[in-house]
Structure 1
Amino acid sequence: MRFVVRVAVNAFALWIVTLLPALQVRLIPFAPGEWLQVLLTLLLVGLIFAIVNSVVGTIVKIIAIPLYILTLGLISLIINGFLLWLTGVITENWDWGLRTGEFWLTVVAALLIGIINAVLGGILRPRRDDRARN
């Protein structure tokens, strides 16, 4: 259930970021681009982004532990931008998906996605006492 919530929150955060034209992050839906196709594209890109964060992100973050210590955690901005860029590269093989622009604007987009994920994840994530009752 938590993974489904994470994918939905990722899709919403990606949608918010794609509305900001200054960030050069574009979403290319299936043709002809109706709202259902945009929603499905957002969910698929959110799923790919969640998988990239879970698998590749974990490996990169473990390897970069010395850099986290050295930079007091600021390297996480670069790593999150890299993971968003990697999601764009993965979906670039199809005619739909995420297209990113300049790397530093991608880092800003990843920062906004992280903030939205933290806020909405905290609101929508089931509480520990709720899980104990079920």
Structure 2
Amino acid sequence: MKIFLKLLLTAVAVVVLSQMLPGITVANYGTAILVAVTISLLNMFVRPLLVLFTLPVTILTLGLFLFVINACIILLVGNLITGFAVSGFLTALLFSVLLSIFRSFLFSLLKEEK
């Protein structure tokens, strides 16, 4: 149940960021949910491989290369989903940073008190 709520909150963040950033377009809410699912799947399966293969560069840049990996994942989602478009690398970089901030804020609202 909590996974579905997180996916819906991510979809809401995608829609809000598409309204804020001029280089991001989302066709409809269904596309935003599909983008959220695709981002989650790519972060689960592809991102660890990219981090492993680029480990020397990541260490050399003190972890800043992880931002590039996140932007590449956003660009990949833009190529995979037809109703989601990203205009360029810098837009994808800014979108990934803002999406991480939005998601961390929204997920903090889901924390249960112990």
Q: TM-score, normalising length from structure 2?
A: 0.86
Equivalent AA in structure 1 for residue 64 of structure 2: L
Aligned-pair CA distance for 1:49:
1.4
One of 89, 102, 112 as aligned partner of 1:103 = 89
CA contact (8 A) 2:15 2:29 kept: no
Please name the residue that 1:113 is paired with. 99
Which amino acid is the alignment partner of residue 48 of structure 1? Answer: T
Contact 1:2 1:125 in 2 (8 A): no
Task: Give secondary structure in 2 for the equivalent of 1:124.
Answer: coil
Q: Note if 1:3 corresponds to 2:3.
A: yes
Count the aligned residue pairs. 114
- Runs (4+) off by over 3 Å: none
Q: Take 2:60 and 2:20, find their aligned partners in 1: how far apart are those partners?
A: 33
Q: Is the 8 A contact 1:6 1:50 kept in 2?
A: no
For residues 19-58 of structure 1, the aligned pairs below 5 Å read 19-22=19-22, 24-28=23-27, 38-58=28-48
How large is the RMSD of aligned CA atoms in angstroms?
Answer: 1.8
Unaligned residue ranges in structure 1 (runs of 5+): 29-37, 130-134
Report the AA paired with residue 61 of structure 1: V
Question: Are 2:109 and 1:123 equivalent residues in the alignment?
Answer: yes
Q: Identify the residue that residue 13 of structure 1 maps to in structure 2.
A: 13
> What is aligned with 1:73?
63
In our comparison, the structure showing a higher alpha carbon Rg is 1
Matched, 1:64 2:54: yes
What is the alpha-carbon distance in structure 1 between the residues aligned to residue 112 and residue 54 of structure 2?
30
